[in-house]
């Protein structure tokens, strides 16, 4: 009888461990990512100065407030920028994009995300595709003109957009991933790689086409630098035309001069030459 009780206890313990592991994997692969409450429409409208225009975008179940900057030349390159999960960062995003553009004739567009009461993860890809279609139908922006850049959660937008375009045998002119938002809070890097990232994002990275730029802060505690280096080395490989680490934390690349120049060069040199720069991925020792 004693032996039977031991066997039952072991079996119950194993079942509990399996249940706990299943819950953990589900948590990692299906994160509830929410952006903070977006800016008021009047606040976004107030940012439409110095060449920027207010541009609303209607998507199923929501209206996204955005800013757009139209270039002089209709064939000029465009930058579609996806910011981080902070819904009130549109002003900072605009400042970053302005620094990237500098004195170049480059179009730019950005939109706020859905509000804090909505799990924006489920809307990432359809909203991103809606933005691309809006730019094409209203402003005549072709994919060969369109450069995509994303920071943190915004990098996830870029990845899912790239996968959706690849499924149609299409691709943006280039992709810039800044502070890759692939790690779930409290989840170690090894576990994230074991389950291939939230919603399989690590696997989706392989669908990205065209030249890719990766920027990361050396002290990024949210998404460690080792994670970015491994993505560049093991998944993206030769598609990464530049991998750049800068001093600082998660948001450091958004204000770093070298990082900003790298994004500008990605857009301008690619658009003028028709081919990516020849810089290779820097291997980490």
Q: Average pLDDT for residues 77-93, to the nearest whole number?
A: 86
Q: Are 123 and 153 in contact (CB under 8 A)?
A: no
Q: Average pLDDT for residues 74-97, to the nearest whole number?
A: 89
pLDDT band at 265; cut points 50, 70, 90: very high
Q: What is the pLDDT of residue 7?
A: 60
Q: What is the pLDDT of residue 199?
A: 54
Q: Mean pLDDT across the chain, nearest whole number?
A: 81
| β 240-246/212-217 pair status | parallel
**Does residue 230 carry a pLDDT above 80?**
yes
Nearest residue to 35 (alpha-carbon basis) of 114, 128, 151, 93: 114
User: Taking the model in full, what pTM does it have?
Assistant: 0.81
Q: What is the dihedral of CA 119, 107, 271, 64, to 10 degrees?
A: 10
- Which one is predicted more confidently, 50 or 192? 50
pLDDT band at 113; cut points 50, 70, 90: confident
Q: What is the pLDDT of residue 187?
A: 56
In this structure, is the dihedral angle defined by the CA atoms of residues 216, 219, 223 and 229, taken in order, positive or negative? positive
Task: Please write the tens of the pLDDT for every residue from 130-184.
Answer: 999 999 999 999 999 999 999 988 898 899 899 999 999 999 999 999 998 765 5
- Which one is predicted more confidently, 248 or 236? 248
Q: Average pLDDT for residues 240-244, to the nearest whole number?
A: 93
pLDDT band at 197; cut points 50, 70, 90: low
| β 66-69/53-54 pair status | antiparallel
Q: Average pLDDT for residues 261-273, to the nearest whole number?
A: 82
Distance (Å, whole) CA 281 – CA 242: 6
Give the CA angle between residues 64, 29, 285 to the nearest 5°.
100
């Amino acid at each position: 009888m004693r032996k039977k009780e031991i066997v039952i206890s072991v079996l119950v313990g194993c079942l509990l461990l399996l249940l706990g592991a299943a819950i953990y994997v589900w948590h990692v692969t299906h994160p509830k990512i929410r952006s903070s409450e977006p800016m008021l429409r009047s606040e976004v409208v107030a940012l439409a100065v110095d060449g920027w225009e207010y541009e609303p975008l209607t998507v199923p179940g929501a209206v996204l407030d955005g800013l757009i900057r139209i270039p002089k030349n209709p064939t000029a390159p465009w930058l579609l920028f996806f910011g981080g999960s902070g819904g009130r960062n549109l002003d900072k995003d605009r400042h970053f994009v302005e620094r990237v553009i500098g004195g170049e004739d480059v179009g730019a567009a950005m939109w706020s995300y859905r509000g804090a009461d909505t799990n924006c993860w489920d809307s990432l890809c359809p909203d991103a595709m809606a933005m691309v279609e809006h730019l094409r139908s209203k402003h005549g922006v072709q994919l060969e003109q369109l450069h995509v850049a994303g920071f943190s959660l915004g990098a996830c937008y870029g990845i899912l957009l790239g996968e959706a375009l690849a499924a149609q045998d299409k691709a943006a002119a280039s992709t810039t991933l800044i502070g890759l938002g692939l790690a779930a809070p409290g989840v170690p890097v090894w576990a994230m790689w074991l389950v291939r990232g939230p919603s399989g994002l690590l696997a989706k990275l392989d669908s990205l086409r065209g030249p890719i730029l990766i920027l990361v802060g050396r002290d990024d505690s949210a998404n460690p630098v080792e994670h970015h280096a491994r993505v560049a080395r093991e998944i993206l490989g030769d598609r990464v035309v530049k991998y750049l680490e800068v001093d600082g934390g998660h948001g450091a690349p958004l204000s770093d001069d070298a990082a900003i120049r790298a994004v500008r060069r990605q857009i301008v040199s690619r658009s003028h030459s028709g081919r990516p720069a020849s810089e290779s991925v820097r291997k980490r020792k």
